[in-house]
Structure 1
Amino acid sequence: IGNFPWQVSLQRRGSHFCGGSFYNSKIIVTAAHCLQRVSTSVLKVRAGSSNWNSGGVLVRVAAFKNHQGYNARTMVNDIAVIRLASPLTMSSTIKSIALATTAPANGAAATVSGWGTTSSGGSMPVQLRYVDLKIGGRTQCASSTYRYGSEIKPSMICAYAVGKDSCQGDSGGPL
């Protein structure tokens, strides 16, 4: 977790299903689509570990709130905040993510980390993984090569690399 101390695992009944980013001692930022049809009673967050299933700290969730403009069909405003039931203590393995103050330039380097599958429908690795990507403009990401077309809305960001991507289970994690 050393390179990504802000990465957390969202877990439902003991299984990883989405990522998130540690913002402060009681707040996690994730994707709103990760929290659809999920009750706080079965939701926990693991922080401070490279393994989603062991180590670090496992904390219950007190509440979560999706962006009021979230649209599940178009994925616009696909962001949510989670309030933890007890605060996490910052350490060498648990640190706040630095938030961007400006939009990244097209072609800028970016990294996605997570415990997502390495192929569609595959199994999730126990160990945290990452992939280096580049920020793309809407035209690039809507091209036939990347096939996202009109799904990329003006409020969204796109990152790409030939033959590399995030996958199921990486949703909600840091870029």
Structure 2
Amino acid sequence: MNINVARNTELLILLIFVSVCGTAPLNGRIVGGEDAPPGYWPWQVSVQLRGNHFCGGSLINKEWVMSAAHCFSGLQGENPNKVSRNVAKIILHPNYDSETYDNDIALLRLSSPVRFTDYIRPVCLAASGSVFNNGTDSWVTGWGAVKEGVALPFPQTLQEVEVPVVGNRQCNCLNGVGTVTDNMICAGVLAGGKDSCQGDSGGPMVSKQGSVWVQSGIVSFGFGCARPNLPGVYSRVSRYQSWIKSRIPYNDFVFDIIQN
């Protein structure tokens, strides 16, 4: 795939309700969630093609968005707080596996930088070596389906849902041995009812460390949505610190090491 192909498409990035690293001044795929108040998740991105949302993403600095590789592997080619940008460049992880979803991460370069406000801010990224133990409180946000096969209804307000981390060993047993690699992290309520879903792919999973929000995962895949004993699977951000730094020419983003 030509990573510059998006220059000639109508692929847009919308930063909505979204707004420096990991701080949300207005903060006091989603199933079982609720409407997110404006400004609560200022790094949340909607990736759109010809005006239609198809994946989420997270703002990591003024010019780059992080998302899931599977959102773009086959791609050729009203809110007062939103801004729109064309995508100038798409970079997929070179070892992304479309069958297993291993290394499901992509970087999108915006056509021009955004200006940070209370509604538009970058998220901090989990550094290499970060640990998110079983039960770590996490939040996932997006505009995906609210049930399997049920799209988010009008006015399509950004949704938020709280889900705990599920350890990789347990997640592998539940989802099928070998399904979850070290490049992945799982989260979900084992009783079911809360999860990411179709349309949330590429969006962030974050945990709060003191007063700062740190992105631990990228919505990747799952078996259905919010089914009991089938936690969602996310790309583990901390595994990609070196790759992200190697692809972005200037390092004006922050990696925080987490030890729960």
Q: Please state which band the TM-score falls in when normalised by the shorter chain.
A: 0.7 to 0.9
State the alpha-carbon separation in 2 of the partners of residues 14 and 149 from structure 1.
Answer: 39
> 1:172 is matched with which residue?
202
- Deviation of 1:149 after TM superposition, in Å, equals 4.0
State the alpha-carbon separation in 2 of the partners of residues 114 and 156 from structure 1.
Answer: 19
What is the TM-score with the length of structure 1 in the denominator? Answer: 0.86
State the alpha-carbon separation in 1 of the partners of residues 102 and 48 from structure 2.
Answer: 24
Taking the TM superposition and a 5 Å limit, the aligned residue runs for 1:1-175 are 1=17, 2-39=39-76, 54-55=79-80, 56-101=82-127, 102-125=130-153, 126-144=156-174, 147-161=175-189, 162=191, 163-175=193-205
Measured at CA, do residues 86 and 104 of structure 1 come closer, stay the same or move farther in structure 2, by a change above 3 Å? same
Classify the secondary structure of the residue corresponding to 1:99.
Answer: strand
Quick one: which amino acid aligns to residue 34 of structure 1?
A: C
State the alpha-carbon separation in 2 of the partners of residues 124 and 118 from structure 1.
Answer: 6
Superposed CA offset, 1:118-153 (max 9, x none): 111111341000110111112222344xx3543111
Rg larger for? 2
What is the TM-score with the length of structure 2 in the denominator? Answer: 0.59
Tell me how many residue pairs correspond in the alignment.
Answer: 161
State the alpha-carbon separation in 2 of the partners of residues 149 and 10 from structure 1.
Answer: 32
State the alpha-carbon separation in 1 of the partners of residues 170 and 160 from structure 2.
Answer: 22
Q: Is the 8 A contact 2:47 2:54 kept in 1?
A: yes
Classify the secondary structure of the residue corresponding to 1:20.
Answer: strand
Q: RMSD over aligned Cα, in angstroms?
A: 1.5
State the alpha-carbon separation in 1 of the partners of residues 107 and 165 from structure 2.
Answer: 24
State the alpha-carbon separation in 2 of the partners of residues 140 and 115 from structure 1.
Answer: 28
Classify the secondary structure of the residue corresponding to 2:124.
Answer: coil
Measured at CA, do residues 148 and 16 of structure 1 come closer, stay the same or move farther in structure 2, by a change above 3 Å? farther
Aligned-residue identity in percent: 41
State the alpha-carbon separation in 2 of the partners of residues 28 and 166 from structure 1.
Answer: 19
- Deviation of 1:54 after TM superposition, in Å, equals 4.1
